[in-house]
Amino acid sequence: MSAPLIVLVGPMGVGKSTVGLLLAERLGVGYRDTDEDIVAEQGRSIADIFVDEGEPFFRTLEKEAVRRAVAEHRGVLALGGGAVLDEDTRALLAGHQVVYLSMDVEEAVRRTGLNVARPLLAVNPRRQWRELMEARRHLYEEVATAVVATDGRTPEEVGRAALDAL
């Protein structure tokens, strides 16, 4: 494997893109985001892909987008919040620096509110957040080489903590 990537994982809305761009700037490396790759390739939003094709189709696109990005990219890579659900994707991350940006459920509800553009939260945000976190926390922890809590912190503070953790 060539130079390890800095991969950001964690729930949607935790600030992976904002923090990822900050980290890339500080380190003078490139930034890439698999959600953006999928939107560019499909020519439609993630929400539209979920509605038009369903979640399993999106997960197939996501798995391929992560595989491609890990093979091609150098620098900082942000993954969608559900990318770690896939076992092969988790295995691909071995050997890279993987920073899990964490937040608790109440912080998640505060940050995303009733944002219906996020298809997984459209019905009952608090209950769905609790279920998502319970289902995924151990997967984020499994792939992480560092965990940075974001609760009550600005993106700059999180970025500094992530740099310290690398």
Q: Is 17 annotated as a binding residue?
A: yes
Q: In what order do the strands lie in the sheet with 146-149?
A: 30-33, 75-78, 6-9, 97-102, 146-149
Count CA atoms within 13 Å of residue 3 on its CB side: 10
Q: Is 63 annotated as a binding residue?
A: no
Alpha helical stretches, state H, 6-165: 16-27, 34-42, 46-53, 55-72, 87-92, 105-112, 125-143, 155-165
Q: Are 159 and 23 in contact (CB under 8 A)?
A: yes
**Binding ligand S3P by CB under 6 A: which of 7, 23, 65, 81?**
81
82 or 125: CB nearest ligand S3P: 82
Least separation in angstroms between CB 2 and ligand S3P: 25
Work out the burial of residue 8: count CB atoms within 10 Å of its CB; fewer than 13 is exposed, 13-18 middle, 19 or more buried: buried
**Binding ligand S3P by CB under 6 A: which of 8, 12, 69, 139?**
12
**Binding ligand S3P by CB under 6 A: which of 119, 145, 146, 155?**
119
**Binding ligand S3P by CB under 6 A: which of 15, 80, 125, 159?**
80
Give me the residue label for tokens 């994982």: 9
Please tell me whether residue 155 binds ligand S3P under the rule CB under 6 A. Answer: no
**Binding ligand S3P by CB under 6 A: which of 39, 61, 120, 133?**
120
Q: Which two tokens stand for residue 29?
A: 């490396």
Near ligand S3P in 121-150, by CB under 6 A: none
Binding site for ligand S3P (CB under 6 A): 12, 16, 35, 46, 80-82, 118-120
